[in-house]
Structures are given as C-alpha cells and as structure tokens.
Amino acid sequence: MPGHGSDGGPAAELAHGRIITPGTEHQLGTYGLFPPSAAQQRTLTPATVPLTAKNAEPELLWIGFAELCGGAATHADYAALADQHTTWVVDGVPAPDAVSAEMAARWIRFGEAVEALRERGRTLFLIGPVPLDWDRATRAWQNADIPGGTDVPAAMARIARRLAVLVRVDSASDAVPEGVSGS
C-alpha cells in the first residue's frame, strides 16, 4: 500500500494505472475504461477555476489533457480533484517532446496534477495517440530555447520519475493483463 494517500498524508507513489497508446477501444476496454458520452460531461470548480470533465464520479474523473492543463488551474485545483476522485483518466495526452512555448506552461501544470495524485496515492491512466516518453522529452526541453520553458526540463524529469511506476501498454496486443486469457 503506497504511503498514507487515503488519509491525506503523503504517499510514496501513484497507486496503480497505465500509460496507454494509442488508446484503442480494445485497449481501454481491457482495463474497464469506456469513453464517456457527451451527456456525462460535467463542469467542476475544485478550488480556483472551473474545469470541464468528460465524466466525474466519486471513483472516476475522466478529463482531457487540454482541459486539465490548458487553463489556469493550480496545485490547489488538482489537490481538490484528487481528494474527490480516486481514479483519473487523462486522454488526449500529446507527445511530451513536442517543444513549443504554448506547451511549456501545460507541462508544468501536468506535473502539478501528477504530484497531487502521487501525494494521495491515486490511480492514473494516461491515454495518448503516440508513445509518451518523458525521459526523451526531458532531453528535448533541455536543448530548447523556448521563452517560459526554463522550468520544463526539471518538470519533465520529475514527471518521468513519478510515472515510472505505471505499466505501459503500447499496442492492442500488449493490453491483456496477467491472469486474463482469451477464448
């Protein structure tokens, strides 16, 4: 059991989860993940700013990367959401090594979200259309001369360390978990 996540104290790591690419229906279904319908969309105001989630239930928050990291959310917002939702699914995660001024602040915010989840020992599923390699991204950002991007290499390295505990599922053929057999 990682840390004291359930009682609000610091946890050692994320509880469980996967990094899934490219996020096919089969891959997601293997882990009991089914993309929410438009009717499940909810606007949440966790602390300082409203965020639109694709689905928000006590045990599950399903949100797009652009919504989660594209606005002005803070660690307080992510912490409040992590207190309310035990499992997070973040889809539409872009390639972290695509360096741009626009993405610098988004990756910093993503790192804050990951920290909030780690502190509480939550479960995280990340879904992206391409392989998600934060180690490679750290190097790409170190070599970039992007305004506002000076903190990104450290954030990417921290994200890489935090997400190292998650299992990677890189194709539909990798999606069958241990103990599950086909017919």
Residue 148 placed within a domain: yes
Whether residue 81 contacts residue 13, with contact meaning beta carbons closer than 8 Å, is answered with no
Residue 179 placed within a domain: no
DSSP 95: P
Q: List the chain pLDDT tens, one digit each, 183 residues.
A: 333 444 445 546 898 899 999 999 999 999 999 999 999 999 999 999 999 999 999 899 999 999 999 999 999 999 999 999 999 999 999 999 989 988 999 999 999 999 999 999 999 999 999 999 999 999 999 988 887 678 999 999 999 999 999 999 997 454 445 444 333
What percent of the chain is helix, strand and coil (3-state, nearest 5)? 40, 15, 45
Whether residue 125 contacts residue 17, with contact meaning beta carbons closer than 8 Å, is answered with yes
Residue 123's alpha-carbon distances to 18, 39, 98, 170, in angstroms, are: 9, 24, 26, 19
Taking the model in full, what pTM does it have? Answer: 0.87
If one counts the domains in the chain, the total is 1
Give the residue numbers spanning the domain of 148: 5-173
Residue 180 placed within a domain: no
Residue 182 placed within a domain: no
